[in-house]
Amino acid sequence: MRLSRYFLPVLKETPAEAQIVSHRYMLRAGMIKQASAGIYSWLPLGYKVLRRVEQIVHEEQIRAGHIPMLMPTLQSADLWRESGRYDDYGEEMLRIKDRHDRDMLYGPTNEELITDIFRSNVTSYRDLPLTLYHIQWKFRDEIRPRFGVMRGREFLMKDGYNFDLTKEDALHAYNRHLVSYLRTYERMGLQAIPMRAASGPIGGDNTHEFLVLAETGESEVFYDSAVTDIRLGEREIDYDDKAQCQAILEEFTALYARTDETHDEAAFAAIPEARRRSARGIEVGQIFYFGTKYSEPMGAMVTDADGNRVPVHMGSHGIGVSRLLGAIIEASHDERGIIWPEGVTPFHVGIVNLKQGDGAADVACDGLYAALAARGLEPLYDDTAERAGAKFATMDLIGLPWRITVGPRGLANGVVELTSRRTGESEEMSPEAAVAKVAEIYGRSSL
Ligand code: ATP
Ligand code: MG
């Protein structure tokens, strides 16, 4: 993409309403624009990152054997009356009447709708196990929407639902979600720690939240600092291997890590003092096992091997897709702007032409652009007439992890400069070497 043809409305001034760094940078980098309280338009740059994050979520869910689908945002109140949650859910549910005076709502979550799909179509244990998920906009009429996309009213969520014959199978589904979520966050350059949590209106006892540690987080958390040393890394995972998934759950949840709702002073005090931490965290996901809480009242039954009709065991599992953008920025930025991890960057590399209109510089930039594109990489080429300082400031603000700087002086010596956004270190090399190095950094990845 050439910047002169793109739509990147960066702001020079810091918007007064933004209280936390991710919100400030998302506004300043022209990623989002508030449409009304807690509701945002996703401008091209923000939309690009949102799609990258969404894509990683899809890939990891599909890898775990979960099946993508799409349910609507607007739902009929009838199903929610069946589960009993229409009255329970309270003020956060946006209730709407259609022209025939029927009660509708903008879905805050989808347990009812998915249970209805299941019961209409699945009758035998032979069709289990089954896990369906979608990535869809949700609406919760939060009393205090704030911090930009972190606590919106309209937000994008991945929510998945497992249907299993037995509790044991459903707990394996729970473990699969835990493992796939760990992989998902790690690919985004994030550490999200699973912490024992309370279940709220979804119901059930078995639940973990995934928290990214950050001073601006809204959750109060308590943990043993040794949990921050555990990584999933590159290990091979077989999602059908119950013992392996269970072992990973145990590895990640053996040490004390809880949100304030389930915090236990006595257990916390038992951690060696030097490892005891209380901190703030951003909730980027949550998994639940809730047994037959919905299947029983809503009649989601299957015939088991003995011919008995039994309610299925269910769980639901959510990732805050749009909130993740805020969480990534909270975890990865400096005083000049965002620093995107390579896994989610909107463009792989920026090209800065120090002297637009200079024949040699223009030719070299065009050549770099074509060579990078030929490798399946997407550069953002600043081909505007801005001065160099302003170009660097924009690149730093929008946070592309790599920048190639091209100027007449370097070209006279046959070199361009490759700079890491994270370390600030620059290296001079031939344009071909710069292309090869960027391609190597990204492996075979393409946007
Ligand atoms: P919170 O405690 O932050 O209100 P929640 O526990 O009510 O969240 P869940 O029902 O667990 O949320 O939803 C799954 C995920 O969706 C959460 O882990 C979070 O990342 C995201 N999420 C929830 N509410 C919002 C919101 N208002 N804005 C953006 N993301 C949200
Ligand atoms: Mg939650």
Residue 164 near ligand 1, beta carbon < 6 Å: no
Which ligand has the nearest atom to the CA of 210? 1
Residue 286 near ligand 1, beta carbon < 6 Å: yes
Exposed / middle / buried, residue 5 (Cβ in 10 Å: 0-12, 13-18, 19+): exposed
- For residue 202, the model assigns a pLDDT of 59
Residue 212 near ligand 1, beta carbon < 6 Å: no
Give 32 Cα–ligand 1 centroid separation in angstroms: 19
The model carries a pTM of 0.96
Q: Which of 26, 280, 323 to mutate to test the pocket of ligand 1 (most atoms within 8 A of CB)?
A: 323
The beta strand positions in 165-200, using DSSP E, are 193-196
Amino acid 139 reads F
Residue 210 near ligand 1, beta carbon < 6 Å: no
Exposed / middle / buried, residue 49 (Cβ in 10 Å: 0-12, 13-18, 19+): buried
Which ligand has the nearest atom to the CA of 211? 1
Q: Which atom of ligand 1 is nearest to the CA of 210?
A: 18
Nearest CA to ligand 1 atom 24: 151
Contact status, residue 381 vs residue 395, Cβ threshold 8 Å: no
Q: What's the Rg (C-alpha) of the chain?
A: 24
Give 81 Cα–ligand 2 centroid separation in angstroms: 22
Q: Give the span between the Cα atoms of 226 and 224, in whole angstroms.
A: 5
Structure tokens at 94: 């946006």
Pick the CATH number of 3-338 from 3.30.930.10, 3.40.50.300, 3.30.365.10, 3.30.70.3280: 3.30.930.10
Give Cα 412 to chain centroid, integer Å.
Answer: 44
- For residue 201, the model assigns a pLDDT of 62
Which ligand has the nearest atom to the CA of 318? 1
Residue 159 near ligand 1, beta carbon < 6 Å: no
Nearest CA to ligand 1 atom 18: 285
Residue 157 near ligand 1, beta carbon < 6 Å: yes
Residue 396 near ligand 1, beta carbon < 6 Å: no
Structure tokens at 76: 């009929």
Residue 220 near ligand 1, beta carbon < 6 Å: no
**pLDDT string in tens for the chain (447-residue length):** 999 999 999 998 888 889 999 999 999 999 999 999 999 999 999 999 999 999 999 999 999 999 999 999 999 999 999 989 999 999 999 999 999 999 999 999 999 999 999 999 999 999 999 999 999 999 999 999 999 999 999 999 999 999 999 999 999 999 999 999 999 999 999 999 999 988 766 555 699 999 999 999 999 999 999 999 999 999 999 999 999 999 999 999 999 999 999 999 999 999 999 999 999 999 999 999 999 988 998 899 999 999 999 999 999 999 999 999 999 999 999 999 999 999 999 999 999 999 999 999 999 999 999 999 999 999 999 999 999 999 999 999 999 999 999 999 999 999 999 999 999 999 999 999 999 999 999 995 443
Give 252 Cα–ligand 1 centroid separation in angstroms: 22
Amino acid 147 reads F
Contact status, residue 151 vs residue 134, Cβ threshold 8 Å: no
Give 41 Cα–ligand 2 centroid separation in angstroms: 24
The bridge status of strand 103-106 relative to strand 74-76 is antiparallel
Helix (H, G, I), strand (E, B) or coil at 302: strand
Task: Identify the DSSP state of 146.
Answer: B
Give 105 Cα–ligand 1 centroid separation in angstroms: 18
Give 418 Cα–ligand 2 centroid separation in angstroms: 42
Q: Which atom of ligand 1 is nearest to the CA of 159?
A: 14
Give 92 Cα–ligand 2 centroid separation in angstroms: 14
Q: Which of 286, 322, 325 to mutate to test the pocket of ligand 1 (most atoms within 8 A of CB)?
A: 286
- For residue 203, the model assigns a pLDDT of 57
Residue 151 near ligand 1, beta carbon < 6 Å: yes
Q: Kindly state the helix (H) or strand (E) to which residue 338 belongs, with its residue range.
A: strand 337-338
| Long-range contact set of residues 244-250: C-beta below 8 Å, sequence gap at least 24 | 245/172, 245/175, 245/176, 245/178, 245/179, 246/172, 246/175, 248/175, 248/178, 248/179, 248/182, 249/174, 249/175, 249/178, 249/179
Nearest CA to ligand 1 atom 19: 320
- For residue 446, the model assigns a pLDDT of 43
User: What does the domain layout of the chain look like in residue ranges?
Assistant: 3-338, 349-441
Helix (H, G, I), strand (E, B) or coil at 89: coil
**Of residues 393, 373, 391, the one with CA closest to residue 382:** 391
Residue 111 near ligand 1, beta carbon < 6 Å: no
Give 240 Cα–ligand 2 centroid separation in angstroms: 26
Contact status, residue 81 vs residue 145, Cβ threshold 8 Å: no
Q: Which of 283, 289, 328 to mutate to test the pocket of ligand 1 (most atoms within 8 A of CB)?
A: 283
Residue 281 near ligand 1, beta carbon < 6 Å: no
The beta strand positions in 326-373, using DSSP E, are 333-334, 337-338, 349-353
Which residues lie across from 196 on neighbouring strands? Answer: 208, 258
Q: Which atom of ligand 1 is nearest to the CA of 318?
A: 14
Give 9 Cα–ligand 2 centroid separation in angstroms: 33
- For residue 444, the model assigns a pLDDT of 56
Residue 348 near ligand 1, beta carbon < 6 Å: no
**Of residues 314, 324, 301, 388, the one with CA closest to residue 350:** 388
CATH number for the segment(s) 349-441 = 3.40.50.800
